Amino acid sequence: MKKIYLYARFQRFWHWTQFLIISVLLLTGLEVHGLYNLMGYENAFRIHNLSGWGLLGLIFIAFFWYITTGDFRQYLTEGNLVEKIWLQVRYYMIGIFKHEPHPFKKNEISRLNPLQRITYLMLTLVGLPSQIIFGFIYFYFNELVALGMNPAWMEPIALIHTLLAYLLIAFVIMHVYMTTTGHTLTSNIKAMITGWEEVED
Ligand code: HEM
């Protein structure tokens, strides 16, 4: 075995801050939605909006970091993407239970498998930005209607915003399960905390 450095300090800071902000967004969002009463509607509403701005700011900083360091290349896949994703899906469905080796080995310049690459890319470029945009349209709805937006858009926007929130919860559950499928149960999570991971030499 050898130790490799996978996550720079900024990445770990960004990842866990993002997790914290999204947890607050989900907690307050579900309260605003009417599922329970924890801090009161008004507080939940205010904190939800503030956290939305916080997440937007964090995403801008993260984009800046990923682009200027060139680390965004870790999210791109060369060659036949479908074939590579299938290899990884087959591993999660069958290979893992037969103790087969991981189809893609980790190293400093390629830490993510093809399925992680496409999932994280879609989440960061499509999922989270759409959720934030729909959230802001919903929050500033009256102002936008005054500027000429059709009020009939309110309901579909609210529905999409809620649907995306549930999809995000599904992502977090799957994501945490997937992080336990590394070399040991906790090796991936340790890497996201310390930056270092033990991999086969
Ligand atoms: C809102 C919740 C979360 C989001 C949006 C999220 C997003 C991400 C993203 C985009 C990456 C890829 C980073 C990169 O390599 O550039 C990542 C990696 C990772 N995340 Fe999360 N994460 C969330 C919650 C969690 C939680 C709760 C855990 C563990 C308890 C976790 C553990 C990890 C680990 C271990 C990795 C390393 C790569 C891997 O094993 O897949 N994440 N996460």
Which CATH number do you get for residue 92? 1.20.950.20
- 120 C-beta closer than 6 A to ligand 1: yes
Cβ of 26 below 6 Å from ligand 1: no
Residue 170 pairs in a beta bridge with none
Show the domain range for 73. 2-199
Closest CA to ligand 1's atom 40: 179
How many Å apart are CA 124 and CA 48, to the nearest integer?
20
pLDDT over threshold 90, residue 117: yes
pLDDT of the residue at 199:
85
Q: Is the CB of 112 under 6 A from ligand 1?
A: yes
Q: Nearest residue CA, atom 41 of ligand 1?
A: 179
pLDDT higher than 90, residue 1: no
- pLDDT tens per residue, range 179-193: 999 889 999 999 999
Pocket of ligand 1, candidates 190, 192, 194, 196: which has the most ligand atoms within 8 Å of its Cβ, to mutate? 192
- Cα–Cα distances in Å, from 137 out to 62, 86, 196? 23, 37, 41
- Helix pair angle (9-32, 187-194), 10° resolution: 110
DSSP letter string, 35-102: S--SS-HHHHHHHHHHHHHHHHHHHHHHHHHHHHHSGGGGG---S-HHHHHHHHHHHHHTGGGGTPPP
Give yes or no for residue 89 CB within 6 A of ligand 1. Answer: no
- Domain count across the chain: 1
**Residues 54/141, Cβ–Cβ less than 8 Å:** no
Partners of 198 in beta bridges: 3
